[in-house]
Amino acid sequence: MDQMPPTRTTKPKFIIGNWKMNGMLEDGIKFLDFLSEDWLRHTLMRHQRYAIICPPAHLLYPLAEEMRRLIGRERNFMLGGQDCSAEAGMGAFTGEIAALMLRDAGAHFCLVGHSERRTRHNETNELVAAKAARAVEAGLIPIICLGETRLEREAGETNAVVGRQLRQSLALILPFLNQVNEEEAKTATPHLKAMIAYEPVWAIGTGLVPSPQDIAATHGFIRSTLGELCAAQAGVMPILYGGSVKPDNASAILAVDDVDGLLVGGASLNAASFRALCGA
């Protein structure tokens, strides 16, 4: 990235919209135009918010162009992919999209390991680790999604499941996360290199949300596991909460310890609702 978002020292919050398989070209352009130039330019910055939209891949380039038209190279509003191929480079992989292509189309981030990919496409932690590595190689910041099912929670296995997903999904990018470059050492400010999204599977699209205490406990567990895996990044890596976030519960969730932002599906599709989430 030409300009990294600041890290945890200034405690920005990241509001990420995952549009899933929703949105035609006209919808995407209307969404940005509704948000308005002034809001994109000033309001996000004033509230220390970074807004990131992950639209379907065909919308990345036109949305990036529309953003450039509205706000030039402003960086408080960015784009992300929803998934990328685990294959390195390019080649004969029908239907796949390379992290490099997402970057080429204007993305700065990429979701990997979303629960809908893990369940519907049988994605394993090993595959998610390879996707995270491809994202990093392409210069994208991977947003690695984790979360337990309802049965796993009821069996008291939340930390075991989330811990395993975290260790295995980060495995290939740990050398990158642990490497401190000259500039980081000089300024004592680690760069933003990856994000974690904790999304309990049972909370996605259901209207159910864990209690603030439960969110705090799991985020605290993720933070301490990051401390073991990549100490240099542990304090600064944003940990987002996702699963049935709406404008009316967003500020309570953002106020929970160790919640650095939100990953939002349904409520991010409507521009007014997304604006409300960013102002929460």
| Numbers of helices and strands, H then E, in the chain | 15, 8
Report in angstroms how near the CB of residue 148 gets to ligand PGA at its nearest: 14
Please report whether residue 78 would count as binding ligand PGA according to CB under 6 A. Answer: no
Q: Are 240 and 261 in contact (CB under 8 A)?
A: yes
- Binding residues for ligand PGA, total number by CB under 6 A: 13
Residue of 265, 271, 274, 278 that binds ligand PGA (CB under 6 A): 265
65 assigned to active site: no
Please state, in angstroms and rounded to a whole number, the distance separating the CA atoms of residues 194 and 143: 6
Please state, in angstroms and rounded to a whole number, the distance separating the CA atoms of residues 153 and 178: 31
Whose Cβ is closer to ligand PGA: residue 253's or residue 264's?
264
Site for ligand PGA in 6-45 (CB under 6 A): 18
**How many CB atoms sit inside 10 A of residue 132's CB?**
28
What token pair was written down for 156?
């008291």
Please report whether residue 260 would count as binding ligand PGA according to CB under 6 A. Answer: no
Report in angstroms how near the CB of residue 145 gets to ligand PGA at its nearest: 7
In the bound complex, which residue of the shown chain has the CB atom lying closest to ligand PGA?
265
Whose Cβ is closer to ligand PGA: residue 190's or residue 242's?
242
What token pair was written down for 250?
């967003």
Whose Cβ is closer to ligand PGA: residue 7's or residue 244's?
244
Report in angstroms how near the CB of residue 43 gets to ligand PGA at its nearest: 22
The one-character DSSP state at 83 is -
Residue of 53, 264, 278, 280 that binds ligand PGA (CB under 6 A): 264
Site for ligand PGA in 211-250 (CB under 6 A): 242-245
Whose Cβ is closer to ligand PGA: residue 106's or residue 147's?
147
Strands 261-264 and 239-242: parallel
Report in angstroms how near the CB of residue 89 gets to ligand PGA at its nearest: 29
Whose Cβ is closer to ligand PGA: residue 15's or residue 230's?
15
Report in angstroms how near the CB of residue 42 gets to ligand PGA at its nearest: 27
What DSSP string runs through 150-189?
A: HHHHHTT-HHHHHHHHHHHHHGGGHHHHH---HHHHHHT-
Site for ligand PGA in 179-208 (CB under 6 A): 199, 204-205
Please state, in angstroms and rounded to a whole number, the distance separating the CA atoms of residues 230 and 186: 19
Which residue in 114, 123, 148, 219 is the catalytic one?
114
Whose Cβ is closer to ligand PGA: residue 76's or residue 115's?
115
Report in angstroms how near the CB of residue 10 gets to ligand PGA at its nearest: 25
114 assigned to active site: yes
Please state, in angstroms and rounded to a whole number, the distance separating the CA atoms of residues 110 and 131: 9
Please state, in angstroms and rounded to a whole number, the distance separating the CA atoms of residues 93 and 68: 31
Q: Are 251 and 257 in contact (CB under 8 A)?
A: no
Strands 109-112 and 77-81: parallel
* Closest alpha carbon to 143 in 80, 232, 206, 49: 80
Which residues contact ligand PGA by CB under 6 A? 18, 199, 204-205, 242-245, 263-267
Q: Known catalytic residues? A: 114, 199
